[in-house]
Every structure is written in structure tokens, then in C-alpha cells.
Structure 1
Amino acid sequence: MKSYPGESTFIVRSGEIDYRGRATLPALVSYMQEAAWANTRDLGISMYDLLERGLTWVLQRMRVEMFRYPGHNDNITIETWASGRERVFLHRDFRIYNEERELLGQATSVWLVMDVVKRQLVSVPDFIIAVEVVPGSEPLPFAKGKLPQLQEAQQAQQMPIRWHDIDLNRHVTNTRYLQWALDTLPLQVLEQKQLRQIDIIFKAESMLGDTVVSAAAAADDSGHAYLHKLTSQESGKELVQAKTVWELES
């Protein structure tokens, strides 16, 4: 079977906007994951299809670039397609459009397959490999390579993991990590600047009852880039690494 792109439409709801009335990035990433779910469902390789085999999808990395944010009640369309495969890494791209088909943002992501009982990554199973990757659009550059390491935190917060932080895989959901990373930045950054790019790597899972320490620091002297690191307070294990790029609000 050949893969094919999918399109999903969403209306930006009041609980998904910031004080400017625009969709938050965690909300947009949630839409993208929902669009990916719909596309994989149509291809017979959704998370539910994997769970029947004791497997699941896990997001390993995502790089998002936003040109303009949709506002409250805006109708948006998210196009998504399987864009490539490298060993155990399965790539998926996204493009976000408004009603006028203006490109608002785009993203590329990397997915892995995990054994839900052993909590270990596995080789891509044959029934997924059988879905031939046929990109519906020009693939975005794959998200790969290392990010700069945060050496000394300038801001830090502790985030106890609560019941509503947990997803279907029984670990902290990806968008919650993203939210915690952004929430750690100084208020002046969040109020005066607009997030344009994020590259986020999910390195390990955390469970109910753990506490996540979210740290951030300026990446350079420009005031436009920040490094992020989320770790488990209990084990000291690094959970998430990210870099964000911001622009002054116009």
C-alpha cells in the first residue's frame, strides 16, 4: 500500500489562545498530532492499530516554524504526510494553512515505535514498512543533528506530574513538555516577543508522580534564542532538550 497525504480542519477555540487572541504553539502542535493520527488511521497504522499489537508511536523530535499565528475562531487546515524513513526513524511533515490557503507554518517530525510493555524502542515492524512512503509534497529538511547544550540555567521551575499530564501511552504528553519549556522563560519574553521557531527533542519518558525540572537560558547575546532542558528530579535523567527562536512583536 502507498501512503498518501491527509488534510484535517480545525477551529481555534477560546481555551487555545493567548492574551493576544492567537493560537498557542502547544495547541497547534496538538492539532498537528491529531492530523497525523487521522492520516495514519486511514493508512491502517494509527496508534490504535499499533496498540492491538502491543506497540505504540512515540514522538522523538519536532521542528516547527511559524510565519503567522491563527486567531480565535479561525478555520485552519493542516496537511500532513509521511516524508521518509531512515532505519528506525519515520519522518512526517506538516503544513498549516488558513482559509485563504495562506501558509501559516510548517513542521517536520521524527517518530519511533515502542513496545508498550517493555517500554523499549523496537525495529519498525513489517506492517508499517509495507506502507510505501510517497511524499505528497516536497519534504522539509529532516530534523537531525545535535542541539547546543544548556550549560547554566538562568530560569528554572519544578513541575509535579499530575493525572491530566498523562496521555494514552501512560506517560507525560508531548505538548505538556512543550508548555513547561515555554512557561519557564521570563515574562518579558512571553509578553513582548512571538515564538517563530522551535526544535525539540524528546529523550526519555516520565510518569505520574515524578517531578520535572524545566530550565532555560539565553542561547547567545541576541536576546532572540533560548535553550531549554527538562530533567527528572527523581532520577536526574534528561527528558527533553529544545531551542526556541523569538521575534519582537510587531
Structure 2
Amino acid sequence: MAFIQTDTFTLRGYECDASGRMSLPALMNLMQESANRNAIDYGIGIADLGQKGFGWMLMRFCLRMHQYPRYGDTIQLMTYPTTVEKYFIHRDFRVLAEDGTLLADAGSIWLVFSIEKRSMVPLPDFIRQLSPPTNVDPLPTLPLKPDFQIVPFIPSETRPVEVGWLSIDQNQHVNNVAYVQWLIESINTDTLQTREIAEIDLVYRTESHWHDWLDVQTATETADMLLHRIVQTESGKEVILARSQWREN
């Protein structure tokens, strides 16, 4: 059986930024909640995997903001799997206004890891056998290795971050949304006050844990594009790579 998750949310004050727009971390948290509700219907929720010694890990995420909802607005969030492969499952998200206007959409790629070995494993059969909806129009498939991975990266700013307790999820590693908040917080003041993110494209490379020290790095690619890296301070190992596109408010 195929399932499409549809949730309705009215934006609360703590989900919005200083300008009254919904913040990207708040939106991503709601997306993650809806995704898990959808996964539960399929029998592959966080708890379902945990009982079998597995966990979900996000590998790719690309979010496009067409129009930001604001405080008090009611939005409809839809999510569903689109493709199931040997190692990856693809999931789309769509965010609609009350009048049906498309506010945002996102594509994502997820993998399963062994909790004991902390390493990726092929998707178990009970996941590979699920049936994605057929009455949807999937977003373009995200490349596993986007081109910004090989763009020369010369950081203009580096900020250290220590992983705190509230950044850790049930899989005992940093929640994927925490990284996005750190990336945004590292942007210069003028950009944050006069511009907004039109698109953010993320590659999650490895996990990090409580009390780890990370370096959040930013580089300018073009007038409208920033590149981001989060690396482990001690080893220099890449944790996340990203590109953000900005536009005037």
C-alpha cells in the first residue's frame, strides 16, 4: 500500500525569524516530523528501525523556497517516498499555502545505517518492498555528488561550534537540522538582514556526536551563492557540504 502524508500547521512565533518569516530550521523540523509520520504508516519509522538495530540517516537534501510563509499563516505539508533503490530511498516534500500556492519543495535521499557498527548498510527487504505513490509528480532526482563538491573552497570565515546535548537526536548523533542552523548563524549580518535563502543544497558526509568540536566555514562563490563546509576540528574530516542561493527580501 502507498501512503502520502499530509499535515496542516499554523505557524507559531518561535518558528519564525526576526522578520516574521518562517525559519528554515523550523520548516525542516516540520518536514522531518511529517516524514517520520509517513514512515510509521509504512512500518519503517524511527522506532521500527531501532527495534531491528538500524537507523535513518539523511544523505542529500535540497530545499527551494518559492515564497516564505509568515507568522500566523496556515500551511499544508505533504511528503512521500518516490524511489527505492538498493542503498537509498528518495523522498519529496511540498509546502502549500491555504489557497494552494506552492511555497516550497524539497528533494531528499536517505540511507540506513547499522546502530552497532555505525556504518551504512543496504536497505533491508522490509524497506525495499514498500510501494511509493504513483499519482504524484516526483521532483528531479538529486545527484549523489553535486558539482559544488569540487568547486574550490577558500573559507572567508570559520566559526567553532561545540555539539551540545540538544543537537543530538534518537540516533545519538547530531540532528540534520542543527547543521543548517549553524550554517545560517555563520552568515554575515548584512546578508541576514537584507536577503533571504532561495535555495539550499546539502550533502551530509558523516555523523558527529555530543561534545565534538566542529568548524563552520563559509566561502563566497558568486554574488548570490555561498559555499559552506562543516568539518571536524581535530581531524579536518568533512561532516557537511552545502551551497546556498540568496535573493533580496
Using structure 2 for the length normalisation, give the TM-score.
Answer: 0.96
Residue identity over aligned pairs, in percent, reads: 33
Q: Per-residue deviation at 1:147?
A: 3.4
1:159–1:214 contact (8 Å) kept in structure 2: yes
Q: Match of 1:243? A: 243
Give the unaligned 5+ runs of structure 1: none
Larger deviation, residues 145-154 vs 79-88? 145-154
| Counterpart contact for 2:84–2:128, Cα < 8 Å | no
Equivalent position amino acid for 1:132 in 2: S
Distance across 1 between alignment mates of 2:134 and 2:146: 25
Name 1:26's counterpart in structure 2: 25
CA-atom RMSD, angstroms?
Answer: 1.1
Following the alignment from structure 1 to structure 2, what is the Cα–Cα distance between the partners of residues 25 and 124?
29
Which residue matches 1:166? 168
Partners in 2 of 1:24 and 1:134 — Cα distance?
29
TM-score by length of 1: 0.95
1:150–1:217 CA contact under 8 A, matched in 2: no
CA contact (8 A) 1:157 1:214 kept: yes
| C-alpha contact 1:158 1:214 (8 A) present in aligned 2 | yes
Q: For the residues of structure 2 that align with 1:215 and 1:20, how far apart are their CA atoms? A: 25
Deviations 1:25-72 (A, max 9, x none): 111111111110111111111111100101011111100101111111
The answer on whether the counterparts of 1:81 and 1:135 sit within 8 Å (CA) in structure 2 is no
| Structure 2 match to 1:52 | 51
Report the Cα distance in structure 2 between the residues aligned to 1:42 and 1:137, rounded to whole angstroms.
Answer: 18
Rounded to whole Å, the distance in 2 between the matches of 1:21 and 1:207 is 32
> Once superposed, which parts of structure 1, at least 4 consecutive aligned residues long, lie more than 4 Å away?
none
Query: Structure 1 stretch 48-57 or stretch 85-94: which is displaced more?
Result: 85-94
Aligned to 2:147, the other structure's residue is in SS state coil
In 2, the alpha carbon distance for the partners of 1:209 and 1:184 equals: 19
> What is the alpha-carbon distance in structure 2 between the residues aligned to residue 172 and residue 150 of structure 1?
27
The one-letter amino acid of 1:55's match is: F
Match of 2:157 in 1: 155
Residue pair 1:68, 1:104 contacting (<8 A) in 2 also: yes
Instruction: Find the counterpart in structure 1 of residue 78 from structure 2.
Output: 79
1:191 aligns with 2:193: yes
Structure 1 match to 2:180 = 178
Q: After TM superposition, give the deviation of residue 150 of structure 1 in Å.
A: 4.9
Task: Report the AA paired with residue 60 of structure 1.
Answer: M
After the TM superposition, which residues 131-142 of structure 1 pair with which residues of structure 2 at under 5 Å, given as runs? 131-142=130-141
1:4–1:135: 8 Å Cα contact kept in structure 2? no
**Matched AA of 2:165:** W
Aligned residues of 2:86 and 2:128 also touching (Cα < 8 A): no
